[in-house]
Structure 1
Amino acid sequence: MTKAFFLRGANYARYDLDDDRVDDGYPKSISVGWSGIEGTGFESDVDTAVELGDRKLYFFKGSSYLRIDEDQLAVDGEVRDIGGAWGGFSAAGFSDALDAAVNWRNGKAYFFRGDSYIRYDIAGDSVDGGAASPIAGNWPGFSEAGFTDGIEGAFLSDSGKAYFFRGGSYLRYDVVGGHVDDGYPRPVSGNWPGMDEAGFSGAVDAAWTAAGASTPVTPAGSQLTAGDHVWYFNGRTSTAPDIPRTTWFPGSTGPTDYGGHGKEIFQFVVHADGTIFRGQPHMRGMPGTFAWLNNNPGNITGGPGGPDYGQYQGKFNWHNFLIFPTRDAGYNAIAKFLQTASCPNRGPYRNLSIFDAFGCYAPASDGNDPAAYAQSVADAAGVPTSTLVGDLNEDRMRLMQDKIAEVEGTVPGDILTADSAELPEEIRSRL
């Protein structure tokens, strides 16, 4: 059951997105909701909040932030400066105040301040591009809705829609389509049952959902089904999108610091044919990349409620990579994606040149060289990079698919079954 949370002043409300109403007994005091928060300065008037998928919730206020452990519902550490802990925020001018934040569940989070925003790479702890961009012109429909300044809160739902709040109004944004849905903005009052009574139909201070809880991954300890993935280390398991680094390796100083145990960590992916793929996708040069584990040679990403490319529905790996039942299904999905999907702010891939398409398919912000990528796939297909994706015939598209699989790095790992001696008992017992 998915919950959204709203802060206003010294209180918070919990909203049941499935039942579409504020839960009974709310609002409650922020100090009651999370132990240890009293005396930190975060008991009221929080600027914004975001959950980054690691079961840690972050409250921001002025130039400071506070981390909360969601499993313990308790403060986790001291109040710290934003500028000294969040990579790139100072340089982007986002270290002394924030208005809103939202986890996009694809390895990125967006932070808003005034009329500007930044895109934050969660694993890389860095601001993409290093600078802020204006909301106007970059978020289709926001200008028409009057949401180019002063956004107060935002969250992403499991339906593939994002909700943004400002001054008692809200808009619904279609993540896949990259646009504000028709008929928005609308008033919170009358559209969010119970918010009036709770005193939350006007301005809000923050809004979020617990991304780790609402992303459709298998809860720890439950039965594993086709399409599920599991991280494994020394008897410990996790179905979170990323390795629970700070929990497994206290004192870890960065996204690739596994306390010297990186080669002892494995990921297992369960497939419908009874096989279990094993690899080490977090380690450069090691067998079993994400593209292989997921039967996804194009490393296509998606989200809840996204298009059906033949993947296991509702199952996602790190970076929201789709997981497919067979390699052929994942291979065929590359062509289907390029023929039917759209690049945000640029339109359908099929209407773009190969050069422009791969600037979106493999953006530089993800560590790619899109110009080189475009040149390599165009050369493989025997066409110039100016060729429209939609003009590629089936044979040339297949040549391009082969090159994409090569570039993405489909490095095989191990294929196991439920009775394989190498399969840890902690995973075997859940099959």
Structure 2
Amino acid sequence: MTRAFFLRGAMYARYDLQRDRVDDGYPKPVTAGWSGIDGTGFESGIDTAVSLGNGKLYFFKGGSYLRIDERRLAVDAGAADIGGAWGGFAEAGFGAFLDSAVNWGNGKVYVFRGDSYLRYDIAADRVDDGYPLPVSGNWPGFAETGFTDGIEGGFVTGGGKAYFFRRGRYVRYDVAADRVDDGYPLPVAGNWPGLAEAGFADSVDAVWTPAGAATPVTPVGGRLTPGDHVWYFDGRISMAQEIPRSTWFPGSKGPTDYQGHGKEIFQFVVHSDGTIFRGRPHMRGFPGTYAWLNNNPGNITGRPGGPDYGQYPGKFNWHNFLIFPTRETGYRAIATFLRTASCPKRGPYRDLSILDAFECYAPASDGNNPVKYAQAVAEAAGVPTSTPVGHLDDVQMRLMQDKIAEVEGAVPGDVLTAGSPELPQEIGSLL
């Protein structure tokens, strides 16, 4: 079940989004929810909180933040300065205080302060270029509903809607349409059963959902289940979405700085047929790329609660790549994705020309050359780049899928099993 957390002062409430009400027994003290928080200064109130989908929850207060392990529900790193750890926050004027932070489920976090906001790239560990920007004019419907400043919290649902809260009112935002839905704002009281009784009707300090929470699947044998990935380095393991660079390599200065140990880091992906794929996807040109490890030849990305393309439910690799049980399932997903998914702010891929579609599918901001990519897939399908994706027949689509798989570059790594002598003991013990 998906739950949202509302926090105000020293108390918090857990809200069941499926049953649409506050869970029994709430509110509770913050100290009862997360061990190790007592005495940190964060137990009596915070400014905002956000879960990044890497198994970590972050509380922010003033110019400091606290990191919490979501599996153990315990603080695992003491208070530290925002400006020294969150790339670009201080330069954007967000180093001393935050109003709210919302994980958008696509590798980005939107952070609000006053009447401005910034967009943070989780994988790159920095604020995107061009930020901060004013809320007014960039979030359609916010100005009309009075949500241009002082946003207290929010979260994105699997149904493509986001909810934002401010001074006892809330709005529902349509992610695909990129605007506030009609009929909002509405009062929290009377629309979120149990929040008023819990004392959260007038305002909140923070609202969040655990990002990337997995739907339960049948375990392979223990803690690891099909679709899980594990990073391994020198006897250390991490099930975080990305390499725990700051922990393993203190002093690392960027997302690709492994202090000379990049070749010694491996990723293992558990699959439902009992195999365990091993590779070094973070190292360019090395065996075991993401496209291969994830059985995802198109390197399709997703978000919690997103469409079902046959992937393992709720499982995401670095960069939010989906993870599939078989290569064939991942291959078929390319066509399904291009025929049914939508490009943010542009509309369904099927209505876009091949050129426009690949500017979204493989944006230049991710280091791609979308024009060259579009030309390659269009040539493979025997059509011009101006052809709408929806006009491709099955044969042309398969030719395009083949070229996409070629461009994305699924380089095989090693296929192991639970009894393989090459499987580290630390990982084998979790199977």
Q: TM-score if structure 1 supplies the norm length?
A: 0.85
Deviation string 1:178-234 (CA, Å, 9 cap, x unpaired) is 56567654322123333212211112122123336x345889993434333222334
- CA distance in structure 1 between the aligned counterparts of 2:86 and 2:427, rounded to whole angstroms: 35
Matched, 1:292 2:292: yes
Whether the aligned pair in 2 keeps the contact of 1:217 and 1:315 (CA below 8 Å) is: no
Whether the aligned pair in 2 keeps the contact of 1:34 and 1:75 (CA below 8 Å) is: no
Matched, 1:21 2:35: no
Query: Mapping of 1:80-229 within 5 angstroms?
Result: 80=81, 82-135=82-135, 138-139=138-139, 142=142, 146-157=146-157, 161-173=161-173, 175=175, 184-211=184-211, 214-216=213-215, 222-229=222-229
Instruction: Give the aligned partner of residue 315 of structure 1.
Output: 315
SS at match of 2:46: coil
Instruction: Structure 2: give runs of 5+ residues left out of the alignment.
Output: none
Instruction: Give the aligned partner of residue 232 of structure 1.
Output: 232
Instruction: Give the aligned partner of residue 281 of structure 1.
Output: 281
- CA distance in structure 2 between the aligned counterparts of 1:222 and 1:171, rounded to whole angstroms: 41
Instruction: Give the aligned partner of residue 67 of structure 1.
Output: 66
* Equivalent AA in structure 1 for residue 315 of structure 2: K
SS at match of 1:130: coil
Instruction: Give the aligned partner of residue 332 of structure 1.
Output: 332
Whether the aligned pair in 2 keeps the contact of 1:6 and 1:204 (CA below 8 Å) is: yes
Instruction: Structure 1: give runs of 5+ residues left out of the alignment.
Output: none
Shift of 1:120: 0.8
Instruction: Give the aligned partner of residue 422 of structure 1.
Output: 422
Percent identity over the alignment? Answer: 66
Query: Mapping of 1:247-396 within 5 angstroms?
Result: 247-396=247-396
Shift of 1:164: 1.6
- CA distance in structure 1 between the aligned counterparts of 2:26 and 2:124, rounded to whole angstroms: 39
- CA distance in structure 2 between the aligned counterparts of 1:75 and 1:279, rounded to whole angstroms: 28
* Equivalent AA in structure 1 for residue 275 of structure 2: T
Deviation string 1:89-145 (CA, Å, 9 cap, x unpaired) is 344444454321112343221112344432211121222233234545654665665
Q: TM-score if structure 2 supplies the norm length?
A: 0.85
Does the C-alpha gap of structure 1 residues 155 and 238 become closer, same or farther in structure 2, counting only changes over 3 Å? same
* Equivalent AA in structure 1 for residue 311 of structure 2: Q
* Equivalent AA in structure 2 for residue 283 of structure 1: M
SS at match of 1:198: coil
- CA distance in structure 2 between the aligned counterparts of 1:220 and 1:201, rounded to whole angstroms: 44
Whether the aligned pair in 2 keeps the contact of 1:48 and 1:101 (CA below 8 Å) is: yes
- CA distance in structure 2 between the aligned counterparts of 1:295 and 1:75, rounded to whole angstroms: 33
Instruction: Give the aligned partner of residue 11 of structure 1.
Output: 10
Does the C-alpha gap of structure 1 residues 76 and 224 become closer, same or farther in structure 2, counting only changes over 3 Å? closer
- CA distance in structure 2 between the aligned counterparts of 1:47 and 1:347, rounded to whole angstroms: 35
Does the C-alpha gap of structure 1 residues 334 and 234 become closer, same or farther in structure 2, counting only changes over 3 Å? same
Does the C-alpha gap of structure 1 residues 429 and 120 become closer, same or farther in structure 2, counting only changes over 3 Å? same
- CA distance in structure 2 between the aligned counterparts of 1:354 and 1:420, rounded to whole angstroms: 44
Shift of 1:253: 4.4
- CA distance in structure 2 between the aligned counterparts of 1:410 and 1:75, rounded to whole angstroms: 36
* Equivalent AA in structure 2 for residue 241 of structure 1: Q
SS at match of 2:256: coil
Deviation string 1:360-389 (CA, Å, 9 cap, x unpaired) is 112233333333333333333343332221
Aligned residue pairs total: 426
Instruction: Give the aligned partner of residue 403 of structure 1.
Output: 403
SS at match of 2:200: coil
Instruction: Give the aligned partner of residue 51 of structure 1.
Output: 51
Does the C-alpha gap of structure 1 residues 221 and 98 become closer, same or farther in structure 2, counting only changes over 3 Å? farther
Whether the aligned pair in 2 keeps the contact of 1:128 and 1:365 (CA below 8 Å) is: no
Whether the aligned pair in 2 keeps the contact of 1:220 and 1:237 (CA below 8 Å) is: no
SS at match of 1:129: coil
